[in-house]
Amino acid sequence: MMLTPLASLRTGLEVQLDARSRDWLHRALAEAADAPRAPGPGAAAGLPPWERHFATAGRHCAPAPGAAPADAAALTDTARVLLLHAAGPDAEALTRLYGHGSAAERRAVLLALPHLDPPPETSAALALVEDALRSNDTELITAALGSYAAAHLDAHQWRHGVLKCLFTGVPLSSVAELEGRARGDGELARMLSDYARERTAAGREVPADLHHALKLTEDPRTERP
Amino acid sequence: MRIFDPHIHMTSRTTDDYSAMYEAGVRALVEPSFWLGQPRTSPASFFDYFDSLLGWEPFRAAQHGIAHHCTLALNPKEANDPRCTPVLDALPRYLLKDNVVAVGEVGYDSMTPAEDTALAAQLQLALDHDLPALVHTPHRDKAAGLTRTLDVLRSSGLPPERVVLDHLNETTLGAATDSGCWLGFSIYPDTKMDTDRMIRILRVHGTERVLVNSAADWGRSDPLKTRHVGDAMLAAGFTDDDVDQVLWRNPVAFYGQSGRLRPGIPAPTAADAAATHEGNSILRGGE
Ligand SMILES: [Zn+2]
C-alpha cells in the first residue's frame, strides 16, 4: 500500500519520538480529530484542547533515545502539521492560530497549508503566506515558499519571495518547485540581473544561488498543467 | 565562562550588544516583558510586544548563538492604566507558549490598589500555568514595597522556591533571604547595585539561590555586567565553580522549574550560515 505524504510524515515522527511523546501525540491527534471544524460561539470562552496541544507541542516532542540526531524543532513542526490536518480548522481558525502563534506555531501553519483537507480558502491562506514573506525571519520565509506558494502565489509575489531569499540568505534549494516556476520567467530574469548588477556595483559578491536561478529562467517555458 | 543573563530587555539592544554578549560568554538569556519607556495605550500594543518576544527576538538572538526565552506579564506601572488592564484576560493563552519560562515582571511600582489586583491575578496565573514568577521590587520606597510584596506572595500560595525577587540591594537582602525566594540582583552602571557591592553580598550570603543580571534596557545600562561580576568574583577569590553556579546553574535551576527551558546553544541553520557568510541582511539589521 502506498502511504500518503501525511501518513509517512506521521510514521516518520512516531519512530523518532520517545514513548511518552508518542502517547501525547496519539492523545492530541485524537482530540484534534474530535474538534468541531467551525467552533460555535460558545467555544470562544476557552481554548479547545487541541489548540492547547498545538501551542505546547514543543515541550511534548522529545526524541527517542538513540534516534537519529533529531532536530527537536523539526519534530515539533511535524507534530503541529499533523494536529492541523486532524483538526481541519476553517479559514478563520487558521488565521487566528497564525496570528496568535509564536514563530514556531506560525511556521507550522505555513507548512500545513498544502496538507489541509479540505484545502483552506485560498485568499485566507495566501494572506498568511504574504505576511510571512513580509517578515525578516528566515525560517518563516522558508516555510512560506513551500508547495502551497508554488501552486497558488501570484507571479509578482513569488518573484519577490525568491529575491527576498537571496537578500536574507535563504538557500533557493528550499523554494518549492523553483525550476518549474522560474523556467522561462523573463521578469524574474530581469530582477535577478538587476540585483546582480547592484551587488557588483557595490563590490560585493553575487550569490551563487542567483546564477543558478538565472540559468533556470533561460530554459524555454513548457506548458504548465 | 558560560553566562545565562536571567533578566535583560534585548528589544532595546543592538546587534553589537548581541555580538559583544556572545564574545563575553553569554549563551542564554531570559527577556522579561516590561515597560517600554513610552506608555502603551491599548492591549493590542502589548500583543505585538509579546509576539515579538515569542518570535522576532528569539530569531535575532539565535543569529548570535544565544538561546532566548521570555517571561510575560502586565507590568506594574501600566497595571494602573485601565486602557491596558484587559491584557490580563489575554495572558492565559500567551502563558501556554513553549518559550515562556515564567510570569513576569510583576510586582509593585507605586503600590496602588490597581497594582494589588494585577499582582494577585498574575500570581494566580503562575499557579494555573505551573510557572515560576519574576517579581520586580519597586525602585522607590523599596523596603516597604518588599514587605507588601512578601505579604501578597504568602497569601498567593505560590511556593517561595518558585519566585525570584529582583532588583534587591543591601537593605532588602535580609527580608528577601528569610522569605525563601530566589534572590535577583541587577547590576547597573550607576544605580541599583554595582559589581563591588555584589561581591560583598556574595561573600556574606554565599552563592546559593542568587541570580545576577544586567537588566539592560533602553536606559543607561550595560549588557556585559554579568561578565564583569564573573571576573570580579574570580579576582576576589571565588572559584570557577562558584562563578558557574551563579552565572549559569542558578538561572537554569530557577527557570528550569517551568519545564520549558532549553538553554542549549541554538545550532545555526543553513540560512543563518548563508546569512553570516554573505554578511547579509539579518546581521546588518534589515534589508
Ligand atoms: Zn526589567
Q: What is the pLDDT of residues A188-219, one digit of tens each?
A: 999 999 999 999 999 999 999 999 999 999 97
* Residues in chain B within 8 Å Cβ distance of A103: 54-56, 58-59
**Chain B residue set in contact with A, beta carbons under 8 Å:** 51, 54-56, 58-59, 92-93, 96-99, 259-260, 262, 267, 269-278, 280-282, 286-287
CA–CA separation, B8 vs B68, rounded Å? 10
Residue A39 has a pLDDT of 59
A176 half-sphere exposure, CB direction, 13 A CA radius? 16
pLDDT band at A85 (very low <50, low <70, confident <90, very high): very high
Distance from CA of B98 to the nearest CA of A (A): 6
Residue A65 has a pLDDT of 83
Q: Kindly provide the ipTM of the predicted complex, given to two decimals.
A: 0.90
Residue B278 has a pLDDT of 36
In a domain, residue B275? The reply is: no
Q: What type of residue is A68?
A: A
Q: Are the C-beta atoms of B173 and B184 separated by less than 8 Å?
A: no
In a domain, residue B205? The reply is: yes
Residue B71 has a pLDDT of 98
In a domain, residue B232? The reply is: yes
Q: How many other C-beta atoms are found inside a 10 Å radius of the C-beta of residue B25?
A: 16
What is the phi-psi region of residue B192: left when phi exceeds 0, alpha when psi lies from -120 to 50, beta otherwise? left
A38 half-sphere exposure, CB direction, 13 A CA radius? 5
The per-residue pLDDT of chain B, averaged, comes to 91
Q: How many other C-beta atoms are found inside a 10 Å radius of the C-beta of residue A184?
A: 15
Structural Rg of chain B based on CA atoms: 18
CA–CA separation, A10 vs B118, rounded Å? 43
In a domain, residue B279? The reply is: no
The residue of chain A with its CA nearest to that of B50 is A102
- Name residues whose C-beta falls within 8 Å of residue A208's C-beta, 6 or more positions apart in sequence: none
Q: Which of A52, A56, A138 sits opposite B275 (nearest CB)?
A: A138
Question: In chain B, which stretches have pLDDT less than 50?
Answer: 266-287
The CATH code of the domain that includes B84 is 3.20.20.140
Mean pLDDT on A121-126: 98
Distance from CA of A4 to the nearest CA of B (A): 28
Q: What are A42-75's pLDDT values in tens digits?
A: 444 578 899 999 999 999 998 888 776 567 889 9
Residue A225 has a pLDDT of 43
Of the candidates B3, B6, B61, B52, the residue with the CA atom closest to the CA atom of residue B255: B6
The domain tally of chain B equals 1
Residue B279 has a pLDDT of 35
**Residue A40 pLDDT > 90, yes or no?**
no
Of the candidates B280, B254, B268, the residue with the CA atom closest to the CA atom of residue B5: B254
Distance from CA of B97 to the nearest CA of A (A): 6
Of the candidates B55, B73, B67, the residue with the CA atom closest to the CA atom of residue B28: B67
DSSP B246: I
In a domain, residue B284? The reply is: no
For the record, the C-alpha cell of B8 comes out as 535583560
**CB of A21 within 8 Å of any CB in chain B?**
no
Distance from CA of B175 to the nearest CA of A (A): 36
Å from CA of B241 to ligand 1 middle = 27
**CB of A106 within 8 Å of any CB in chain B?**
yes
Beta bridge partners of A17: A63
Q: Which of B54, B56, B280 sits opposite A167 (nearest CB)?
A: B280
- The residue that leads in pLDDT, A71 or A103, is A103
Residues in A 27-56 with any Cβ partner in B closer than 8 A: 47, 52, 55-56
Contact: B96, A47; criterion CB under 8 Å: yes
* Residues in chain B within 8 Å Cβ distance of A210: none
In a domain, residue B271? The reply is: no
Buried b (16+ CB within 10 A) or exposed e, A23-35: ebbeebbebbeeb
* Residues in chain A within 8 Å Cβ distance of B262: 72
Q: Are the C-beta atoms of B103 and B133 separated by less than 8 Å?
A: yes
Residue A46 has a pLDDT of 76
Domain holding B66, by residue range, is 3-264
In a domain, residue B272? The reply is: no
Of the candidates A47, A41, A49, A48, the residue with the CA atom closest to the CA atom of residue A24: A49
Contact: B280, A104; criterion CB under 8 Å: no
Mean pLDDT on A87-114: 96
* Residues in chain A within 8 Å Cβ distance of B92: 47
Q: Are the C-beta atoms of A51 and A97 separated by less than 8 Å?
A: yes
Å from CA of B53 to ligand 1 middle = 14
In a domain, residue B282? The reply is: no
